[in-house]
Structure 1
Amino acid sequence: MIVVRHFLRTSSLSVAFLIIFVLALLGQSFAGHAYNNEELMQHGQAPVTYIEFVTSSDFLVDVAENWQSEFLQFFLFIFATIWLIQRGSPESKKYGDEGVGSDEEQHVGTYARADSPRWAKAQGVRLWIYSNSLLLMMGSVFLLSWLAQSLAGHIVVNEQNVQHGLPPETWGDYLVSPEFWNRTLQNWQSEFLAVGAMVAFSIYLRQRGSSESKPVGMPHHTSSVASE
């Protein structure tokens, strides 16, 4: 019990967002199921069960298109913050710190600490993979989510085409269709706006106690507090 309490205290941020995620996903599934059945009944079709809905392409495409936009957002933000800076934002490194940093600054290879991760002490390909593992993971999840969205969306569109007496589309046709890119870009633009707003607002606005904010009394021009 003590171990569990310690874990929950030291991992409370991850646990809290995992719980919120699961609750939101469940809420989406129940609301989506109800909405889907309303549409089916309006077209004179029989409603589907909850299990049938959550295993359907309709549900998968809605979930996947949100996931891929979120992971694309973080992939681009992580990559951009290697080279680009924003004076005054705690989301940015300070001027002059652009780039991947030296081995000594990153504590890798011969400069690794005794308690550094094992792969940080490695050389060659293993060190490169670990040095870029966060970006690689975000990019991989984005691509897999995007693939799932495109495949599920393709199935949904062809089901609708059958209902309207239209010929089926190939996956390639769907990938270049206005419907696919309309759904995709709706999500992308909102994610990019949110990131840009966070970077800009954090220059002048504060939230006491948050690691995403500078200390309340720090001047506006200060960027990454940890590097000052």
Structure 2
Amino acid sequence: MGTPTKQHSFLYRNGLGLLFSALFIVTLFAQAITGFYEHNSELEQDHAASIGFVEYLNSGHFISATFENFESEFLQMALYVILTVGLRQKGSAESKSLDEPEEVDREPKPGPDAPWPVRKGGVVLKLYENSLFIVFAILFLVSWCLHLYGSWIDHNEQQVLNGQPTDTVANYLTQANFWFETFQNWQSEFLSIASIVLLTIFLRQKGSPESKPVDAPHSETGK
């Protein structure tokens, strides 16, 4: 007789996703509350009328700040997913092996337990083979557009308060403000990727799937 399958609770099976989803919701709400008070403080300094919380959620200030961060995270994930296909880093837990074949590179085989696109084959399978990158890339583009929209709206609100003419989206794209917001987030994401790739060469965290085994040599590549 085979070993019986151990039964785990729903929380045990889904703890990682549930925890980070909860942290996301809590911190997004905290951002909205603190941003609401910050924005109204700025309006008060400009001798403008304050706005309500629901109105703030539709403001350029909130939309820009929110999707500015989403954008950089999705860019990080899209690049990380696609670049780790072909690029290597000797000794890193985040890299595929320099020479050995990897399980993720094997050709998909249809079977009763395989996802539907694998059983379907053809174009559907080709899309599914790259679906993680595709979705992250789409989420990045959508977030970038919403960041631009929110930043443009917020910029024009400031222009009106200062008695200055408003700008079109095209004109706003030629100004430094939007790109300053963009690059200050992008560079932090690239730094975080470089950090996890390089630090896992020499440092360890016992029990973490993001680390090599504690006794693994520094030169060992992959987990």
Question: What TM-score do the two structures reach when normalised by structure 1?
Answer: 0.89
Report the identity percentage: 37
- CA–CA distance in structure 2, aligned partners of residues 56 and 159 of structure 1: 10
Structure 1 match to 2:77:
74
CA contact (8 A) 1:89 1:222 kept: yes
Deviates more, 1:41-50 or 1:125-134: 41-50
TM-score under structure 2 normalisation? Answer: 0.91
Summarize the Cα distance change of 1:101–1:6 in structure 2 as closer, same or farther, 3 Å threshold: closer
Task: Quote the offset at 1:45 in angstroms.
Answer: 2.1
Which residue of the other structure, out of 34, 39, 43, is the alignment partner of 1:40? 43
Q: Does residue 127 of the first structure (1) align with residue 125 of the second (2)?
A: yes
Match of 1:89 in 2: 92
For residue 140 of structure 1, report the CA deviation from its aligned partner.
Answer: 0.5
| Distance in structure 2 (CA, Å) of the matches to 1:100 and 1:140 | 27
In 2, distance between residues paired with 1:164 and 1:47?
16
Segments of structure 2 that go 5 or more residues without pairing to the other structure are 1-7
Q: Quick check: 1:58 aligned with 2:56? A: no
CA 67–184 in structure 1, closer or farther in 2 if over 3 Å, else same = same
Q: 1:221 aligns with which of 213, 219, 222?
A: 219
Map 1:110-125 to 2 at 5 A: 111-125=109-123
What does 1:93-104 align with in structure 2 at a 5 Å threshold? 93-96=96-99
Q: CA RMSD in A?
A: 1.8
Q: C-alpha displacement at 1:96, in angstroms? A: 2.8
Shift of 1:135: 0.2
Q: Once superposed, which parts of structure 1, at least 4 consecutive aligned residues long, lie more than 4 Å away?
A: 97-102
* Alpha-carbon separation, structure 1, partners of 2:170 and 2:100: 43
User: What SS does structure 2 have at the residue aligned with 1:169?
Assistant: coil
AA matched with 1:161: Q
Kept in 1, the 8 Å contact 2:202–2:218? The answer is: yes
Equivalent pair of 1:82/1:100 in contact (CA under 8 Å): no
The answer (yes or no) to whether the contact 1:82–1:99 under 8 Å persists in 2 is no
Q: Which has the higher contact order (CA 8 A, sep 6+)?
A: 2
Aligned 8 A contact 2:59 2:154 in 1: no
Distance in 2, matches of 1:45 and 1:12, equals: 46
